[in-house]
Amino acid sequence: MIRFDNVGLRYGSGPEILRDVTFHVLPGSFHFLTGPSGAGKTSLLRLLFMSLRPSRGLIFVFGENVADLPPAGRAALRRRIGIVFQDFRLLDHLTTWENVALPLRVMGKKESDYAEDVTDLLRWVGLGDRIHAYPEILSGGEKQRAAIARAVIGRPELLLADEPTGNVDPAIGNRLLRLFVELNRLGTSVIIATHDYALMEQLEAPRLMLYEGQLQASAP
Amino acid sequence: MTFITDIRDYPWTSLLAGILPKRLAGFLPRRFQATTSQIVPSASIAGNALTVVIAIMTFLACLTAGAVYMVNQSASAWVNDIASEITIELDPVNSPDIEKKITLVSLFLAKQKGITEVRPLSADDSAKLLEPWLGSTAALSALPIPRLIAVEIDRSSPPDIELIKTALSQNFEGVTLDDHRRWQAEIRTLTRTAALGGISVLGLVAAATIAVIISATRSAMASNREIIEVLHFVGANERFISGEFERHFLGLGVRAGLVGALAAAIAFLLLPVIMHLMGGGIVTEAETRRLVGSGELDIGGYLLLVLVVVVVAGLCMITSRLGVIRVLKSYA
pLDDT, tens only, B62-106: 998 888 888 888 777 777 777 778 888 888 877 778 888 888 888
Give the pLDDT score at B42: 74
Determine contact, residues A79/A107, Cβ cutoff 8 Å. Answer: yes
pTM greater than 0.90 (yes/no) = no
Give the pLDDT score at A103: 93
What is the rounded CA–CA span in Å between residue B54 and residue B244? 20
Give the pLDDT score at B288: 64
What is the rounded CA–CA span in Å between residue B205 and residue B222? 26
Distance to chain B for A33, nearest Cα, Å: 20
Identify the burial level of A44 via C-beta atoms within 10 angstroms of its C-beta, where 0-12 means exposed, 13-18 middle and 19 or more buried: buried
Determine contact, residues A64/A157, Cβ cutoff 8 Å. Answer: no
B5 touches chain A (CB under 8 A): no
Give the pLDDT score at B238: 85
What is the rounded CA–CA span in Å between residue A148 and residue A99? 11
Determine contact, residues A35/A217, Cβ cutoff 8 Å. Answer: no
Assign A59 a pLDDT band (cuts: 50, 70, 90): very high
What is the rounded CA–CA span in Å between residue B270 and residue B291? 17
CA-wise closest residue to B191 among B102, B286, B292? B292
Q: No. of H helices and E strands in chain A? A: 7, 10
Substitution target in A85, A96, A102, A131 with the highest count of B β-carbons within 10 Å is A102
| Smallest CA–CA distance from A53 into chain B, residue | B332
| Residues of chain B with C-beta less than 8 angstroms from the C-beta of A85 | 233
B329 touches chain A (CB under 8 A): yes
Q: Do B39 and A107 touch (CB under 8 A)?
A: no
What is the rounded CA–CA span in Å between residue B116 and residue B121? 16
Q: Do B37 and A95 touch (CB under 8 A)?
A: yes
**How would you list the strands of the sheet with A56-61, edge to edge?**
A16-25, A2-10, A56-61, A64-65
Interface of B with A in 217-246 (CB under 8 A): 226-227, 229-238, 240
**Cβ-nearest to B233 among A83, A105, A111:** A83
Give the pLDDT score at A20: 92
Give the pLDDT score at B164: 86
Mean pLDDT, chain A, rounded, equals: 89
Determine contact, residues A164/A87, Cβ cutoff 8 Å. Answer: no
CA-wise closest residue to B127 among B148, B149, B96, B105? B148
| Smallest CA–CA distance from B9 into chain A, residue | A108
Q: Do B237 and A72 touch (CB under 8 A)?
A: yes
The phi, psi pair for B135, rounded to 5°, reads 80, 175
Q: Do A150 and B234 touch (CB under 8 A)?
A: yes
What is the rounded CA–CA span in Å between residue A146 and residue A125? 8
Q: Parallel, antiparallel, or unpaired: how do β-strands A30-34 and A207-211 relate?
A: parallel
Give the pLDDT score at B68: 85
**Cβ-nearest to A91 among B9, B227, B232:** B227
Q: Is A56 helix (H, G, I), strand (E, B) or coil?
A: strand
CA-wise closest residue to B256 among B85, B58, B123, B1? B58
Determine contact, residues B325/B90, Cβ cutoff 8 Å. Answer: no
- With a cut of 70, list the residues of chain B below it in pLDDT: 1-36, 44-47, 137-138, 140, 279-295, 331-332
ipTM of this model? 0.85
At A75-99, the pLDDT tens digits run: 899 999 999 988 889 999 999 999 9
At A165-181, the pLDDT tens digits run: 877 778 878 888 888 89
| Residues of chain B with C-beta less than 8 angstroms from the C-beta of A80 | 235
| Smallest CA–CA distance from B238 into chain A, residue | A72
Determine contact, residues B237/A70, Cβ cutoff 8 Å. Answer: no
Q: Do A103 and B235 touch (CB under 8 A)?
A: yes
Q: Is B230 helix (H, G, I), strand (E, B) or coil?
A: helix
> Mean per-residue pLDDT for A95-112?
92
B331 touches chain A (CB under 8 A): no
**Cβ-nearest to A106 among B226, B231, B332:** B231
Q: Do B238 and A108 touch (CB under 8 A)?
A: no
The phi, psi pair for A23, rounded to 5°, reads -165, 165
Half-sphere exposure of B150 (CA within 13 A, CB side): 12
Identify the burial level of A1 via C-beta atoms within 10 angstroms of its C-beta, where 0-12 means exposed, 13-18 middle and 19 or more buried: middle
A42's CB contacts (< 8 A; 6+ apart) are A86, A162, A193
* Helix orientation angle between B48-83 and B282-292, rounded to the nearest 10 degrees: 80
Determine contact, residues B34/A111, Cβ cutoff 8 Å. Answer: no
Measured CA to CA in angstroms, residue B303 lies from A70, B77, B253, B291, B300 at distances of 44, 20, 17, 21, 5
B260's CB contacts (< 8 A; 6+ apart) are B54, B55, B56, B57, B58, B59, B60, B61, B62, B309, B312
Distance to chain A for B233, nearest Cα, Å: 7
Half-sphere exposure of B155 (CA within 13 A, CB side): 7
Q: Parallel, antiparallel, or unpaired: how do β-strands A189-193 and A30-34 relate?
A: parallel
What is the rounded CA–CA span in Å between residue A74 and residue B233? 10
**Cβ-nearest to B237 among A75, A95, A102:** A75
Give the pLDDT score at B5: 60
Give the pLDDT score at A91: 93
Determine contact, residues A143/A167, Cβ cutoff 8 Å. Answer: yes
Substitution target in B231, B234, B244, B325 with the highest count of A β-carbons within 10 Å is B234
CA-wise closest residue to A25 among A153, A184, A180, A152? A184
